[in-house]
Every structure is written in C-alpha cells, then in structure tokens.
Amino acid sequence: MASRHSCRDEAGNRGRLSFVSLLTDEDREALEQLGRRVSFPAGTVLMHEGLPGEGVLLMRTGVVKATHTTIAGHEAILAFRGSGDLIGELALIDDRPHSSTVIAVEPVEALVIPSPGFRAFVEQRPPVAVALMRMVVDRFRDTDRRLVEFSASDALGRVAARLLELAETHGQPSDRGVTITLHLSQEELAGWAGCSVKAVVNALQTLRRLGLVETGRRRVTILDMERLEAQAPAH
C-alpha cells in the first residue's frame, strides 16, 4: 500500500498543483511572453498584505512564504510556494487588496505579469481559466484540510505533519534518511504549524528522543518516515 504522503503532482509536489503543471506547452510559452523576469534576494517582500494588487508573479526558482500578521502581532505562515507557482492571483480575481504578505525565503527568480495582461490572457484562453480555477480550488481544499488537522491534533502532530510536507517538497535523500533542504527557523516552523516556539522545541525534542528526526542549526533530517507519519494526523 502506498504511503499517504507519497502522492505528487506533475511538478513533484505532494498534494499541491502548481499553475505551470496545469498548462499546455503552448500556453506556457505564451505566458512567458507576457511578463519580465526579475530576481529577488532572500528576505525581500514581494507583496504586502493590505495593499492593492498590481499583477501576479510566476515563480521560476526559489521559495517564498505567504504570511499573515495576527492581532497579537505574531507571524502566521499560510503556505510556502516554489517553482511553477502563481502568486497574487486572488487579488487579481476579486479586485481586493492582498490578503497576505509574500516574502522570499531564499533567492527567487520570477516572471512579473501586470494585471491587465494576465487577465486578458485568462479570458482569451479557456483552458488557462480552468487551470487557474483548479489551482485555486486545490489551495482552498488544502486550507480546509489544515483547519481539520489543527482542530484534531496537538502540537506534536502538527509539527510532524509539517516536517513530512517539507520532506516531500524539499527533501534530499542522505545516508541518514531524508534531509530537509529548506532551512526554516523554529519561529517559522511554529508560525506554520500554528503553535508556540516552545511547543515546537518540545515537539522536536520528543521526535529526537523517539529516534524519528535529527536536528541541527536550521536543519532537520527525518530518520524514519513511516514512524513519523504515525505521529501526524491522518487525512
């Protein structure tokens, strides 16, 4: 029986459809002609929560995080996006300000496409409109899944689930197991798992004690994927 964390889309990402993976070769080539290529160093804010959208970004390389600042002033991480992903599409669809801040976690190369050009591109190509709808629906389904996960599991289960997701999207096989190549701080992992930094520290200590992970400075190696899956909430 296949592992419940082994399902990947065409772009190689578990349970997540990248926009580019849903396009035909012809549509991909046409999309490339609409924008300009830009590079951003790590730490750059690409989009600001609450500001109006002026266009979309099509990720080529690198990773960004979409964040939301809570009433208490904490950074909640909503998602990580990488190669082939589209960013800023919701502000374009509903003509409202961005609902999250997008920050480069590592150096990023992207295609910047102004709103009028991208909107016309979608309107003129029905298959692209369908691809956009599929991507948006997939993201909303993922949000629903996480809401259920958060209500049905403790911090240990949520941290285990996030580590498994990182292993699928940014895992590199090593002699010890699977090393996560996306280097997150404990604060970032806490913001993504929806718990405190202290809870993340305790969860990682428990996972180390069980022999499931090995940790270093901003580095995690999963030693036993199957046993770690047993700690994560089923979905």
Chain segment 155-210, per-residue pLDDT in tens: 999 999 999 989 988 899 988 899 998 888 889 999 899 889 999 999 999 999 99
Give per-residue pLDDT as tens, 19-74. 999 999 999 999 999 999 999 999 999 999 999 888 999 999 999 999 998 887 77
Looking at the fold, whether 127 and 220 belong to one and the same domain comes out as no
Q: Of 90, 120, 149, at which residue does a domain stop?
A: 149
At 174 the pLDDT is: 86
Query: Cα 40–167–187 angle (5° rounding)?
Result: 60
Looking at the fold, whether 99 and 115 belong to one and the same domain comes out as yes
CATH number of the domain encompassing residue 192 = 1.10.10.10
CATH number of the domain encompassing residue 111 = 2.60.120.10
Looking at the fold, whether 123 and 168 belong to one and the same domain comes out as no
Per the confidence metrics, is the pTM higher than 0.85? no
Looking at the fold, whether 208 and 128 belong to one and the same domain comes out as no
Q: Of 133, 149, 165, at which residue does a domain stop?
A: 149
At 59 the pLDDT is: 96
Looking at the fold, whether 158 and 220 belong to one and the same domain comes out as yes
Looking at the fold, whether 129 and 143 belong to one and the same domain comes out as yes
Domain count, the chain: 2
What is the DSSP code string of the chain?
A: ---TT--B-TTS-BT---TGGGS-HHHHHHHHTTSEEEEE-TT-EEE-TTSPP-EEEEEEES-EEEEEE-TTSPEEEEEEE-TT-EESHHHHHH----SSEEEESS-EEEEEEEHHHHHHHHHH-HHHHHHHHHHHHHHHHHHHHHHHHHHH--HHHHHHHHHHHHHHHHEEE-SSSEEE-S---HHHHHHHHTS-HHHHHHHHHHHHHTTSEEEETTEEEES-HHHHHHHSPP-
Q: Of 149, 177, 197, at which residue does a domain stop?
A: 149
Residue 95 counted as domain residue = yes
Residue 12 counted as domain residue = no
Domain that holds residue 198: 154-231
Residue 6 counted as domain residue = no
Residue 10 counted as domain residue = no
Give per-residue pLDDT as tens, 73-130. 778 899 899 999 999 999 888 888 998 999 999 999 999 999 999 999 999 999 999 9
Looking at the fold, whether 145 and 158 belong to one and the same domain comes out as no
Looking at the fold, whether 104 and 185 belong to one and the same domain comes out as no
Residue 165 counted as domain residue = yes
